[in-house]
A and B are shown apart, each in its own frame.
Chain A
Amino acid sequence: GQQVMQIPQYQHVQEGEDFTTYCNSSTTLSNIQWYKQRPGGHPVFLIQLVKSGEVKKQKRLTFQFGEAKKNSSLHITATQTTDVGTYFCAGWTGANNLFFGTGTRLTVIP
């Protein structure tokens, strides 16, 4: 069945260091979405990528969709304590369901 894996599962960084999480799907995706869940909170939609090779930026966050539309990455430049949380990718295959990745929990050490 459809699987969306993320690595790493956990990441501890010093404030100011960069952070990257990678998302890999077992099948080709129609689009990929990224969500952030703060500790104790609910997932919040960040961005959606649709086109092969697409790159989008939101301030210090850079999102990339692979050429084969089976993988994606989120890169945060110069992390801040406000970046703490779990980042989920989620892929659409064209059916009704969004397949969420396993998530990467980011801890930022001040």
Chain B
Amino acid sequence: SQTIHQWPATLVQPVGSPLSLECTVEGTSNPNLYWYRQAAGRGLQLLFYSVGIGQISSEVPQNLSASRPQDRQFILSSKKLLLSDSGFYLCAWSSIGTGQPQHFGDGTRLSIL
């Protein structure tokens, strides 16, 4: 069966520090991969999605970036975190093709001090 791993579960970082969140999927090949951010008590904001290795689409301008160095690995990064980057970051995967259900990781709670 397919599983998705996301770490760390919680992270406290100072303003201006770098960020690297990693997400890996097991049990499936060539998945579509997604990064979302959820502010407290709010909906899901799509940050990036990827349909293949090295293929990244950005949905919102920001100081975050994403990379997909391997088929089942998706990384969210920042060179300098802002206070506004605080939130709940969720990685998700779906089977290849459009309209497929998305399956989420447990998320990372990021607090910027």
Q: Which residues of A contact B (CB under 8 A)?
A: 30-31, 33, 41-45, 48, 50, 88, 90, 92, 94-98, 100-103, 105
Q: Contacts of B5 on A, CB cut-off 8 Å? A: none
A67: shortest Cβ distance to chain B, in Å? 19
A30 touches B98 (CB 8 A): yes
A42 touches B32 (CB 8 A): no
B 39-68 binary contact with A (CB < 8 Å = 1; else 0): 001111010010100000101000000000
**B102 adjacent to chain A (CB < 8 Å):** yes
Using known A-B contacts A33-B101, A48-B101, A95-B98, determine if residue A43 contacts B44 with beta carbons closer than 8 Å. Answer: yes
B43 touches A88 (CB 8 A): yes
- Give A44 to B90 CA distance when docked, in angstroms: 12
From A42, A92, A96, B104 is in contact (CB under 8 Å) with A42
From A88, A97, A105, B49 is in contact (CB under 8 Å) with A97
A3: shortest Cβ distance to chain B, in Å? 11
Q: Which residues of B contact A (CB under 8 A)?
A: 32, 41-44, 46, 49, 51, 57, 59, 90, 98-99, 101-107
Closest B residue to A99 by beta carbon equals: B46
14 A-B pairs within 8 Å (CB atoms) are namely A33-B102, A42-B104, A43-B44, A43-B90, A43-B102, A43-B104, A48-B99, A88-B44, A94-B98, A94-B99, A96-B32, A98-B46, A100-B44, A103-B42
B90 touches A92 (CB 8 A): no
- Residue of A42, A44, A45, A48 with most chain B CB atoms under a 10 A cut-off: A42
Using known A-B contacts A42-B107, A43-B104, determine if residue A92 contacts B98 with beta carbons closer than 8 Å. Answer: yes
- Give A30 to B32 CA distance when docked, in angstroms: 18
A97 touches B59 (CB 8 A): yes
- Give A102 to B99 CA distance when docked, in angstroms: 19
B102 touches A45 (CB 8 A): yes
Q: Contacts of B99 on A, CB cut-off 8 Å? A: 30-31, 48, 50, 92, 94
B102 touches A98 (CB 8 A): yes
B74: shortest Cβ distance to chain A, in Å? 15
